[in-house]
A and B are shown apart, each in its own frame.
Chain A
Amino acid sequence: MRLQIKRLWSQIVFLIGANLGALGLRTGFCYPFFYCHACPAAPAACPLRAIEKAFYDHSFEWKLLLYPILTLGFVGSLTGRGVCGWACPIGFLQRGTGHVARKIRKKKRAQKIGQLRIEPFFRYIKYILLIATVIITPYYIKFMFTDICPTGMIVGTFPLLAVYPGKFVPNDFFMYASVVLILFFILIFIIERGWCRYFCPIGAILAPFNKVSFVNVAVNQEECLHCNLCSMECPMGIDVPNMNRDPECILCGKCIEKCPANIIKFERIKWKE
């Protein structure tokens, strides 16, 4: 079976798993990816909600901070951001919109923007977003990432409105969250994996684990032809031939399939050289 077909099946299985609450399963685990516990079918908690609760209104609860981070750390130390590429339902959504983004990327103006030197700095936004809206603003001004979360709108708010017709009406924050949601959709349609690249706070927690994960994507740089087909294929816009455990790599394996010299591989733990 082709790698991308395996990945598709994995994403479908995890999407179903993320909604097992529909069968009455409600656990005390945190999702190791981006999904909302407000979803009527959610069996687990959003890690960001737990962190926000840990810091909310000048409080600090170490258990609610460590628990989601360790959940993500456990998955991250095994596969790094592989969970973004193989399990996250929002990643799955962006896999669908990526085809449109790819067509847009071929246009000259988009290529010019893509070549801007400032682009790599945009990737730090997700770390700033994580610290600012999941830790600092909940602590000081009670404003949380959850209040404007686009995933919360997609899998929480709208399904709740559908499952309980007539029971709910939108509140004050609905308008602001809708604007963020529209921007989210524009982003993922014009930039492949735009949310994962620039804004996902869960990706920001998982990214450092790419440096020490048991599984990673490795390039044999000595045999590389520098044809750049891998970089053109990479949905995260990584300079694949020169990467070394890049924090942005979601282990989707597209570069592995594209490489004509077959020198890009999944590397697992090596006990001996």
Chain B
Amino acid sequence: MERIIIAQIAVFLIVTGSFGGMFLYTDVYEDVQAKIVETICLSCAKLDTNLPVQFTFETANGKGHPDFVIDILKNKGPILIQYGEKACAACEDMLDNIIKPEFELDFDKTITRDFDIDIHGLNFTYVYIYIDDPATPQEKIDSYDVYDIEYIRGFPMFTIITIEYDHSGIIKPYYASLYGKFEPNNNYKKMKETFFELIETSMELWDRNIAGYDV
């Protein structure tokens, strides 16, 4: 047998065996599907969003609100969720220019975690969900689909959740989602104002309705 054939077979077996092994014995297929194929890094796509902020009761995928959201709404107050991923410039920009300085937070951007914020008269829970953190609970990752109201699949996404009376007179979670860097030309001042307005509105609604909120 020629040397080239031995080399061909050896390379093919090594590559196929390694590929098959990775496919069968690691979670890389699921990772690539959930964290690359089913998401869009908006800054990598060279896009920001230009969408009006609208509160709604209807979840994007028709499923109920996740338990961690209900718990916080029942026991603490309104919630600001930031969904972020690895290798996403806009996710980091928003963290470094808005979230960390304005809410006086300092944390590792690669770890999913919650913070109770009480600053500038704002009182809410900030939930940072980093989908590439292997310790992120699946419930938190799945919550993205609940709040992706524009069906964009884009990162970063911010969701502000409070409670309000719906049309049938029942108090329910009430939320709005914002995508990417939602003000053109990196206008961080305007972005900050939008966040503050939304959080203040959420706090007013929560204070007004919490007494009648029954999960």
Cα A26 to Cα B38 with chains together (Å): 7
Contact between B44 and A146, CB atoms less than 8 A apart: yes
B122 within 8 Å of A (CB atoms):
no
Question: Distance (Å) between the CB of A42 and the closest chain B CB?
Answer: 7
Contact between B45 and A152, CB atoms less than 8 A apart: yes
Interface size range of chain B in the complex: 35 or more
Q: Which residues of A are found within 8 Å of B89, using beta-carbon distances?
A: 142, 147
Q: Which residues of A are found within 8 Å of B28, using beta-carbon distances?
A: 28, 63-64, 67
Contact between B50 and A169, CB atoms less than 8 A apart: yes
Contact (A168, B48) CB under 8 Å given A67-B28, A77-B11, A138-B87? yes
Interface size range of chain A in the complex: 35 or more
Which residues in chain B, 37-71, are within 8 Å of chain A measured between CB atoms?
37-38, 40-51
B105 within 8 Å of A (CB atoms):
no
Contact (A144, B87) CB under 8 Å given A70-B19, A214-B8? yes
Which residues in chain A, 38-76, are within 8 Å of chain B measured between CB atoms?
38, 42-46, 49-50, 52-53, 56-57, 59, 63-64, 66-67, 70-71, 73-74, 76
B2 within 8 Å of A (CB atoms):
yes
Contact for B46 among A49, A53, A78, A153, CB less than 8 A:
A153
A164 within 8 Å of B (CB atoms):
yes
Question: Distance (Å) between the CB of B12 and the closest chain A CB?
Answer: 5
Q: Which residues of B are found within 8 Å of A77, using beta-carbon distances?
A: 8, 11-12, 15-16
Contact between B18 and A28, CB atoms less than 8 A apart: no
Contact between B32 and A50, CB atoms less than 8 A apart: yes
B103 within 8 Å of A (CB atoms):
no
B29 within 8 Å of A (CB atoms):
yes
Q: Which residues of B are found within 8 Å of A168, using beta-carbon distances?
A: 42, 47-50
Chain A, residue nearest B10 (CB)? A212
Contact (A271, B32) CB under 8 Å given A152-B44, A214-B12? no
Contact for B32 among A21, A67, A167, CB less than 8 A:
A67
Contact for A56 among B19, B37, B40, B86, CB less than 8 A:
B86
Cα A218 to Cα B116 with chains together (Å): 68
Contact between B36 and A212, CB atoms less than 8 A apart: no
Contact between A45 and B37, CB atoms less than 8 A apart: yes
Cα A67 to Cα B25 with chains together (Å): 12
A173 within 8 Å of B (CB atoms):
yes
A-B contact count (CB 8 A): 156
Question: Distance (Å) between the CB of A206 and the closest chain B CB?
Answer: 12
Cα A67 to Cα B42 with chains together (Å): 24
Question: Distance (Å) between the CB of B207 and the closest chain A CB?
Answer: 33
Cα A174 to Cα B43 with chains together (Å): 9
Contact between A167 and B87, CB atoms less than 8 A apart: no
Cα A30 to Cα B29 with chains together (Å): 9
Contact between A53 and B86, CB atoms less than 8 A apart: yes
Cα A214 to Cα B15 with chains together (Å): 13
B22 within 8 Å of A (CB atoms):
yes
B212 within 8 Å of A (CB atoms):
no
Contact between B46 and A173, CB atoms less than 8 A apart: yes
Which residues in chain A, 163-205, are within 8 Å of chain B measured between CB atoms?
164, 166-174, 177
Contact between B37 and A156, CB atoms less than 8 A apart: no
B197 within 8 Å of A (CB atoms):
no
Question: Distance (Å) between the CB of B59 and the closest chain A CB?
Answer: 19
- B9-31 contact mask (Cβ, 8 Å, vs A): 1 or 0: 00110011011001000101111
Contact between A28 and B33, CB atoms less than 8 A apart: yes
- A71-90 contact mask (Cβ, 8 Å, vs B): 1 or 0: 10110111000000000000
B5 within 8 Å of A (CB atoms):
yes
Question: Distance (Å) between the CB of A163 and the closest chain B CB?
Answer: 10
Chain B, residue nearest A171 (CB)? B48
A5 within 8 Å of B (CB atoms):
no
Q: List 19 other contacts, CB 8 Å, given A43-B37, A142-B89, A271-B1.
A: A29-B29, A46-B36, A49-B36, A50-B36, A56-B86, A64-B32, A70-B22, A147-B46, A160-B40, A167-B152, A169-B48, A170-B48, A171-B42, A171-B43, A171-B180, A177-B46, A212-B8, A214-B8, A269-B8
13 contacts between A and B (CB under 8 A): A26-B33, A49-B44, A56-B86, A56-B87, A146-B44, A156-B40, A164-B150, A164-B152, A168-B50, A170-B46, A171-B90, A212-B7, A212-B11
Residues of B within 8 A of A (CB): 1-2, 4-5, 7-8, 11-12, 15-16, 18-19, 22, 26, 28-38, 40-51, 86-87, 89-90, 92, 132, 150, 152, 180-181, 184, 186
